[in-house]
Amino acid sequence: MSPWHDVPLSQGVSPQGDRLVNMVMEIPKGTRAKLEMLLTEQGNPIAQDTTKSGDLRYMNYSPVLYNYGFIPQTWEDPEYVHPDTKLGGDNEPLDIIDIGYRRREVGEVYRVKIVGALAMIDQGETDWKILGIALDDPAAKLIQTVADIEKYKPGITFTLTDWYKKYKTVDGKPQNTLHFDGQIQDQVRIYRAPFPQRSL
């Protein structure tokens, strides 16, 4: 099965009425290997990315701070110009960051409650970083908004925005641009669009 095409996007609603999505894990927090789902290979496996010279890619700035993955059955359409960023999507599934305390495993699929979004501009493309928390995290019932993140997990919003601005600089690249002046947005719109043709 493909973790992109065959895993459902939605997981219904929580007992508190929060909309839930499935998250497919790519990079566990505290690790450096740059793992990602391969869009063009059969079954869309998760593998370590490589550089143009064929070397394995690592996060040289620091290990990733929180579990990182994608939301299945989503796609950031390059032809869709977002009304706020004025740029098209990055031709990949929506990225999602789980701020829960537990480290997850590569390929794990689990339920996450969405609480916000960070709009990163990467090489002229809109690259949303959806912010969520695993439903089984003790703080999941408490965190409903971005303000709640700072209340119950203080410091996370700063460390996230600072990391995404700077993590490429150690490789000689400029800082990333964050739209909305780097503010994490409370209101998130997840849209579904036709996928690129499935790899056979």
Tens of pLDDT, residues 33-77: 999 999 999 999 999 999 889 999 999 999 999 999 999 999 999
Q: Is the pLDDT of residue 119 over 60?
A: yes
Structure confidence by residue, pLDDT tens digits, 83-97: 889 999 999 999 999
The residue ranking higher by pLDDT, 32 or 144, is: 32
Mean pLDDT value of segment 129-151: 93
Contact 11, 109 (CB under 8 A): no
Residue 200 binned pLDDT confidence (cut-offs 50, 70, 90): very low
Per-residue pLDDT, 187:
62
Per-residue pLDDT, 16:
74
Contact 34, 57 (CB under 8 A): yes
Q: Is the pLDDT of residue 189 over 80?
A: no
Planar angle of CA 157, 158, 159, nearest 5 degrees? 95
Mean pLDDT value of segment 124-136: 93
User: Residue 35: beta bridge partners?
Assistant: 48
Which segment of 49-53, 121-125, 183-187 scores lowest on mean pLDDT? Answer: 183-187
Task: Write down the domain spans for the chain.
Answer: 10-182
Per-residue pLDDT, 123:
85
Domain 10-182 has CATH 3.40.50.720: no
Enter the pTM of the model: 0.91
Residue 188 binned pLDDT confidence (cut-offs 50, 70, 90): low
Containing 160, the helix (H) or strand (E) segment is helix 156-166
Please state, in angstroms and rounded to a whole number, the distance separating the CA atoms of residues 137 and 133: 7
